[in-house]
């Protein structure tokens, strides 16, 4: 019997070793996260952390902490308020004089001057620097010279001719056209000032970015995480109420959710789709579900004969009325989307031009009226319609099926609407850009800044950059131009809303729903909320 005993002891020994290791590992579940430090989930930023090279939320999260620009969007109202700007003055909505506050410094001790802004903007705009958010500078005169639009063209200037430094605290900006709300765009991270170190030691700066915001970066390990602490000499009013933030990279938001429940994490800013049904139960009032600046729409190929003219217009309105938005948002999205009643987003607020009732009946579910309108127009072109989208991300497949179901029920016809899935996003966008659509297709818009202008002009102005449906209306374009030239903000917003009413009449796209941002937080922290870009307002979070 001896040999057997020995074998067993080997196995028992291994098991004991495993348990011992388990015991060692279990001890310090809440590693990291020192006193008063917020532990938050993060994703790898898609681009290097340069202000003008960030167009997604993960990089934006860090930039929001380490930079303050001329303006800052109030987390509650979404309104642009002065941050570093002392004043931005104009007489003609085209020439602006910007004066910055005194006393601001970068985290390396150098002062923030007018030059810090002008240099940063020139860098961001220049085509050779390959910044993905360059288009933010397109309103400034001389943009075409530093950033030609045609392939193969070389820039003919090194700097924007519309920027001029007056003195340490003043610079002048000339836009290529009047744009009354331009100062309100300046809260976006792309407009942040940059210290000399950014230009002198670019590699070093990227390894550990230095800004002028409420937090400074202590350590940054790419693909792993980042620790930030309070910047003691921060000159703005929104000083952090915690000692710092630890950002941890999660490759899967389900894992982050698990860690939140295990008490290893304090803030997650994207509740996984699979957990939405449980989140309210699991987290109670520690679950946040609030509007983000994103609207989802279905666009029509107005370049296709079948969708044109007065009959096309009736078809489009009819289809809009055939969609039961209420049911889809509650059943499929667990109320993390709300039915859309205009072409903007709730984050704009009523003063900013949001108006849930603007679309009126045309965006309400009315199957009988929908059927009448479509019949009046002579039925769907070719007898049926498709909805095209990529299906590799999100829950696109599910809601498209639901929309089609809704249309089929309204028209009382089984195959009136079918889903046309495209495997990858890239492929889908190529087809959209190539005007290859013949039915409805998915379009969505995430705002650049919380302004009504941003929800209308880039999408529906003739030949605008994201005008995928090929919509062109002289009336709409005129109203947009007029609104941009108006000096009074309230009047400008009213004129933008008039332009939006043209869209309701023409229906180049059907507003589906406003997207919400979701978040959850642990019992260890309080005062967590999301800003209009769905980024947690870290400076407000209290620990303990």
Q: What residues line the site for another protein (CB under 8 A)?
A: 2-4, 6-8, 10-11, 14, 18, 21-27, 29, 31-32, 44-48, 55-56, 127-128, 130, 132, 134-135, 147-153, 221-224, 249-252, 254-256, 258-259, 261-262, 264, 423-427, 429-430, 433, 444-446, 458, 465-466
Task: Determine which helix (DSSP H) or strand (DSSP E) holds 153, and give its type and residue range.
Answer: none
CA 511 to chain centre: 17
Q: Indicate the residue among 256 and 528 with the shorter CB distance to another protein.
A: 256
- Closest approach, Cβ 253 to another protein, in A, equals 10
Closest approach of Cβ 150 to another protein, in Å?
6
Q: How far is the CB of 11 from another protein (least distance, A)?
A: 5
CB of 282 to another protein, least distance (A): 12
Considering beta carbons, is residue 421 or 444 the nearer one to another protein? 444
Q: How far is the CB of 26 from another protein (least distance, A)?
A: 4
10 or 232: whose CB is closer to another protein?
Answer: 10
Looking at the Cβ atoms of 113 and 253, the one nearer to another protein is 253
Question: Bridge-partner residues for 97, per DSSP?
Answer: 89, 172
- The distance of closest approach from Cβ of residue 320 to another protein in the complex, given in angstroms and rounded to an integer, is 22
Give 277 or 376: the residue with its C-beta nearer to another protein: 277
Report the distance separating Cα 317 and Cα 367, nearest Å. Answer: 12
Cα–Cα distance for residue pair 499/452, rounded to 1 Å? 11
Q: Could you tell me how many residues make up the chain?
A: 544
Closer of 351 and 424 to another protein (Cβ): 424
Copy the structure tokens of residue 476.
Answer: 């709409």
DSSP letters, 485-497, are H-SSHHHHHHHHH
Dist. CA 130–CA 466, nearest whole Å: 20
Three-state SS letters, 181-233 = CHHHHHHCHHHCCCCHHHHHCHHHHHHCCCCCCCEEEEEEECCCEEEEEECCC
* Least distance from another protein to the Cβ atom of residue 56, Å: 7
Q: Of 122, 124, 162, give the one whose Cα is nearest residue 142.
A: 162
Look-up: residue for tokens 């016809």? 413
Q: What is the DSSP track for 393-409?
A: STTHHHHHHHHHHHHHH
**b/e per residue 182-218 (b: at least 16 CB within 10 A):** bbbbbbbbbbbbbbebbeeeeeebeeebbbbbbbbbe
Cβ at position 25, least distance to another protein in Å: 3
Q: How far apart are CA 499 and CA 489, in angstroms?
A: 15
Bridging pattern class, strands 417-422 and 440-446:
unpaired
Cα separation, 245 vs 65, in Å, equals 9
Q: Is residue 76 packed enough to be buried (19+ CB in 10 Å), middle (13-18) or exposed (0-12)?
A: exposed
Choice between 32 and 378, CB closer to another protein: 32
Q: Which is nearer to another protein, 6 or 415 (CB)?
A: 6
Residue 524 burial (CB count, 10 A): 16
Q: In the bound complex, what is the minimum distance in angstroms from residue 422's beta carbon to another protein?
A: 10
Nearer to another protein, 110 or 176 (CB): 176
| 330 sits in which H/E element | helix 325-331
Nearer to another protein, 251 or 350 (CB): 251
Nearest distance in Å: CB 19, another protein: 9
Minimum CB–partner distance for residue 255 and another protein (Å): 4
Rounded to whole angstroms, the Cα distance separating 254 from 274 reads: 8
d(CA 279, CA 520): 8
């Amino acid at each position: 019997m001896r040999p057997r005993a020995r074998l067993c002891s080997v196995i028992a020994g291994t098991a004991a070793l495993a348990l011992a290791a388990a015991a060692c590992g279990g001890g310090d579940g809440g590693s990291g996260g020192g006193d008063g430090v917020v532990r938050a989930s993060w994703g790898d930023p898609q681009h290097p952390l340069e202000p003008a090279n960030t167009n997604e939320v993960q990089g934006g999260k860090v930039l929001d902490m380490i930079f303050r620009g001329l303006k800052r969007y109030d987390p509650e109202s979404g309104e642009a308020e002065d941050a570093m700007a002392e004043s931005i003055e104009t007489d003609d909505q085209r020439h602006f004089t910007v004066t910055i506050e005194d006393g601001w410094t970068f985290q390396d001790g150098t002062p923030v001057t007018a030059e810090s802004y002008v240099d940063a903007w020139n860098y961001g705009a220049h085509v050779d620097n390959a910044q993905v958010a360059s288009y933010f500078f397109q309103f400034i005169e001389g943009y075409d010279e530093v950033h030609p639009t045609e392939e193969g063209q070389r820039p003919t200037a090194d700097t924007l001719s519309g920027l001029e430094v007056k003195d340490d605290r003043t610079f002048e900006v000339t836009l290529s056209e009047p744009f009354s709300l331009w100062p309100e765009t300046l809260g976006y991270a792309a407009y942040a000032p940059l210290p000399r170190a950014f230009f002198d030691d670019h590699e070093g700066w990227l390894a550990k970015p230095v800004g002028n915001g409420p937090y400074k970066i202590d350590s940054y390990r790419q693909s792993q995480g980042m620790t930030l602490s309070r910047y003691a000499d921060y000159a703005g009013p929104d000083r952090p109420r915690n000692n710092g933030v630890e950002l941890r990279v999660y490759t899967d938001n389900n894992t982050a959710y698990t860690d939140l429940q295990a008490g290893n994490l304090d803030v997650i800013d994207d509740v996984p789709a699979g957990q939405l049904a449980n989140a309210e139960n699991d987290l109670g009032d520690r679950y946040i579900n609030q509007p983000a600046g994103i609207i989802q729409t279905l666009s029509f190929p107005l370049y296709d004969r079948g969708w044109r003219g007065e009959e096309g217009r009736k078809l489009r309105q009819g289809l809009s009325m055939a969609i039961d938005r209420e049911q889809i948002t509650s059943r499929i999205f667990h109320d993390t989307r709300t039915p859309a009643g205009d072409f903007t987003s709730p984050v704009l607020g009523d003063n900013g031009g949001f108006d849930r009732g603007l679309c009126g009946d045309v965006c309400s579910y009315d199957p009988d009226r929908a059927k009448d309108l479509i019949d009046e127009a002579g039925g769907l072109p070719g007898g049926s319609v498709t909805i095209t989208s990529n299906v590799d991300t999100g829950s696109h497949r599910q809601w498209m099926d639901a929309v089609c179901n809704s249309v089929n029920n309204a028209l009382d016809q089984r195959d009136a609407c079918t889903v046309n899935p495209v495997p990858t996003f890239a492929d889908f966008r190529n087809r959209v850009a190539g005007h290859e659509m013949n039915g409805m297709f998915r379009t969505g818009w995430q705002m650049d800044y919380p302004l009504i202008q941003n929800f209308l002009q880039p999408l529906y102005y003739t030949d605008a950059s994201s005008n995928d449906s090929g919509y062109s209306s002289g009336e709409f374009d005129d109203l947009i131009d007029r609104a941009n030239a108006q000096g009074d903000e309230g009047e400008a917003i009213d004129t933008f809303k008039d332009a939006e009413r043209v869209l309701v009449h023409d229906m180049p796209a059907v507003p589906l729903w406003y997207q919400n941002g979701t978040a959850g937080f642990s019992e260890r922290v309080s005062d967590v909320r999301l800003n209009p870009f769905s980024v947690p307002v870290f400076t407000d979070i209290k620990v303990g």
